[in-house]
Structure 1
Amino acid sequence: MAAIAASLVDFLVFGLLVHTGWMKVGPATATGMVCGGILAFVMGRTWVFDARQGAALGQGIRYGLVWIGNIVLSTLLVKALAVHVHYMVARVGVSVVMGLTYSYFMQRWFVFPHGATKR
């Protein structure tokens, strides 16, 4: 649920920025991801990994490092794929792959290593 909620925020911001012409695909990808990332951190800390007992500052710093990597990788992949497919198809595909691989595992083992994953 947390990933879906964060993705909805991410895609809404992304789509609004690109569709209205306020930003090009690359910067809009990063902006949407930052907005979704804030929600994902809060939900990850309090609900998904139940890691409230950990130091929020340390978790936030680790999360920031992971999220910067996610933003950079996703932005580059979306820009590269958007040359060949519709930007939203590229964005969704990259988001799913990154969410199921890099993002989840980095949060589980690096950001919130002592939290209990809820199902």
Structure 2
Amino acid sequence: MNATRQLLQHRQPMIRFLGKRTTPTKIDHTPQAHPASPSSSLPESFASYRKKAQQHGPLNQQSQYATGSIGGKSGASLGPVEAGKGIYFDRSELPARFQRTPWSQAEIEAIESGGASLFA
């Protein structure tokens, strides 16, 4: 215990602070364009920005299903949902060789016993 106390008494931090913290008196909070932006000007409004913005394609495109908002039409009016050729919605629709195999009674017992039944 005493050896540890002596080791900690001579410890010096590796960071050296130069002086007391001071907050700048004048900070400019006016909006400015990011230094790395392609244009050095800010948009006039958010609506004008959104008309030109791109995120995985233009944001101002109208969807063929929605009329200006999400959920503009009911699901029934969109028609039936059917999988295309080679596309399956559930694993049970796949051919038999790709479906889940049923659990055997030995596997169920091994899981319920935590594996101890395999060695008993």
Check whether TM > 0.5: no
Higher helix share: 1
Larger RCO of the pair (alpha carbons < 8 Å, separation 6+): 1
What TM-score, normalized by structure 2, do the two folds share? 0.17
The structure with the largest alpha-carbon Rg is 2
What TM-score, normalized by structure 1, do the two folds share? 0.17
